[in-house]
Structure 1
Amino acid sequence: SYDQNGKEVLTHKTWDGNGRDRTAHFNTVIPLPANAKNVKVMAKECTGLAWEWWRTIINEQNVPLTNEMKVSIGGTTLYPNANISH
């Protein structure tokens, strides 16, 4: 949106499910406004490994906004994989 002087007003938003535990076969729909910018997709897994307790599976910034974006995470604890499809 824009203020009365024509300057863009940016509002930082995060998903309300951030930081909550999720298990396999979890899915959700996260609605984004049509003018969303700087979309970041990040997911971590708890490996259970003493030397690497948390591992980042995906960390993509400035993901282009489309009508429908699907983020898929799979694999195993030691060999995770992730992709974004539009």
Structure 2
Amino acid sequence: MNGLLLIAGSSGTIGRHLATDLAARGIQMSLLGEGPLASLPPTGAEFIRADLSDASAVGRVVAGAGAVIHLAAIGPPPVQPATPRPGR
């Protein structure tokens, strides 16, 4: 495989566990995510923070990858507290 493995969605639960497992097997990779990682990236991994809806940013990262594992998702908007109705 030419280029590094890229895991998109590495700051999520599945991506974080996959990266840890692959690093334990000696696989070097780049980790792509929007949010901060819950812990330091595994040894041999580089974390790249990028907005996945920014096509040019993602394109630059993907261009250097030999393979991509796409685990990223767009989550639901934050839940807003209910507004009390008058008379209740």
Range into which the TM-score falls when normalised by the shorter chain: under 0.3
Which one has a larger percent strand, Structure 1 or Structure 2? Answer: 1
Larger radius of gyration: 2
**Normalization by structure 2: what TM-score?**
0.26
Which one has a larger percent helix, Structure 1 or Structure 2? Answer: 2
